[in-house]
Each structure stands twice: as C-alpha cells, then as structure tokens.
Amino acid sequence: MAAILSILQHTSCPQNVVFHFVASASAVAPLLSSTIAASFPYLAFEIYPFRDSAVAGLISTSIRSALDCPLNYARSYLADLLPACVRRVVYLDSDLVLVDDIAKLAGIPLAARRVLAAPEYCNANFTAYFTPTFWSSPSLSGTFAGRNACYFNTGVMVIDLRRWRSGGYTARIEEWMELQKRMRIYELGSLPPFLLVFAGEIEPVDHRWNQHGLGGDNFRGLCRDLHPGPVSLLHWSGKGKPWARLDASRPCPLDALWAPYDLLKPPYSFDS
C-alpha cells in the first residue's frame, strides 16, 4: 500500500500507471482486491495468483527462512503470469517507496539484446554470492567468462517481457535452481539464479533508483544510512522491515520516510 501511494503521489500522470500484483494463490484474492480498491478507487490493476507448486520442487533452503517463500520466486515467472500484450514492466518489491516519477524509470532504454535494466553495484564482493564449490569448478565459474559480472538487486528491475519470452529466460533460471538442488552453489534464495543468467549483461541504471539495504543485513536487520548521492527510490531490503519496527516502537531513523505512505498504520511520532 505504501509503495502504491508513493508511486501515485510522485508520478506526473498517475492515470497512465497500470499495476500488476502477483499474490500467493493461497491469499484471499477478493479481500486483497477490495482493500486496494477501497484505498485507490480509480486505480487500474490486476491481481495474478502465483501457485507455490510452480517452484516448490526447485527451492533450496537459504540463509534466511523468509527468502525461501515461493512468492519470492514469482519475479522469474512474470512473462508467464502476465498477458502476452504486456511487453515491458517495472518490477518492484513491496518493501519500498518512490520519491520520484516512475515514468523516468519505466522509460529507460534497453540496448539491443538487453532483457533487463537495474542499478549495478560493482564494488560489492561478487564472489560472496556463490559457494567455494561453485568457484572451484571451472565449468561452473566459467559461466561468467567474458562478462563484467556485478551484483544487482532484483527488487527493482525494468524487464522487456518480449525478449524474456523469446529467450526462454525462465527455463534458464530454473536450470540453475535444479543444479542447486544437486550441489550447493549459492546460499541466498532467488537472487543468485538471476546473477548467473544476467550479471554483466544488464542495462545499468543510476543508483538513485534503488537505495537498497535499508532493512539491514539478513541476520540482524540493523539500522542503516542512505548511500551517498541522490535518491529516487528507498528500498528496505534485508531482515528489518519498517512496518514491523514501527509496530514494535523501535523504528530506525529512515523508517520516518516510510511512515507517511503507510495507509494501514496509525500515524507514528518520531519526536523521541
């Protein structure tokens, strides 16, 4: 709800924004639809159920149980879930708010053969995203040969669904997930398969479009500051979520930027 409100408040043409919500098939769809419609009566949206069975046999345990939720893998199936007439989407996690016009992000051009665009973080330790088993195998580590592979966060992506469909990228991701079931090559849920398929071959986007990590790390979820530079999107990736910290009356300073957009929570005072 916070993400929706932030998008609508900061875009110059909210009537041009169409929302595609992917929800667990076990969710109560009518309740979800009525909740959204009650808060945003004129919102153009569709809800697509994602069945856990689509990935149940492919998910391996990761360093944090929340990352093993089947819905975390739905981003790999957008080309199948959404109608064929949808050619391009901006994929967004739900733990974020925008403070800029989403049309700027949606309009980022993709070079020929590029399937997705996202901010890259080439200063991150890329080797840490895969196990020693992966790096010690030339046939596996050779996957990145000739690619300037950098980490990117999959919570904010511009995706060309036509190119995704024609390139069979869902199957490519699933192949790595199937290998992971046979031999441990990574530890971090749905992210590494995306890196294996796309790292070094994406359209780079300015870092302002994903100020991620505001939820801290995957273990303690400690408070964090913003990265240096301008901000267009705030992303509470990590263990600590702003709504949970607000409920517990233990907010981090940056959670004050989330609170005004959260329509489901009472106002919170940060005076103390």
Q: Which of 59, 52, 53, 81 is nearest to 190 (CA)?
A: 59
| The pLDDT value given to residue 30 | 84
| The pLDDT value given to residue 261 | 95
Residue-wise pLDDT for 239-249, tens only, equals 899 999 998 88
* CA trace torsion 49, 67, 212, 42 (10° rounding): 20
| The pLDDT value given to residue 272 | 47
Question: φ and ψ at 90, to 5 degrees?
Answer: -105, 115
Residuewise pLDDT in 10s, the chain (272 residues): 999 999 999 999 999 999 999 999 887 778 889 999 999 999 999 999 999 999 989 988 877 777 788 999 999 999 999 999 999 999 999 999 999 999 999 999 999 999 999 999 999 999 999 999 999 999 999 999 999 999 999 999 999 999 999 999 999 999 999 999 999 999 888 999 999 999 999 999 999 999 999 998 767 778 999 988 999 999 999 889 999 999 888 999 999 999 999 987 766 666 54
The H-assigned helical ranges of 72-207 are: 78-81, 102-106, 132-135, 138-141, 161-167, 169-182, 191-198
Bridge-partner residues for 234, per DSSP? 97, 211
CB 87 within 8 A of CB 160: yes
| Secondary structure (3-state) at 121 | strand
End-to-end CA distance of the chain: 26
| The pLDDT value given to residue 266 | 63
Q: Which of 177, 203, 201 is nearest to 111 (CA)?
A: 203
For the beta carbon of residue 4, count every other beta carbon within 10 angstroms. Answer: 22
Q: pTM for the full model?
A: 0.93
Q: Which helix (H) or strand (E) holds 233?
A: strand 233-235
Amino acid at 137: S
For the beta carbon of residue 112, count every other beta carbon within 10 angstroms. Answer: 5
How far is residue 257's CA from residue 1's CA, in Å, rounded to a whole number?
14
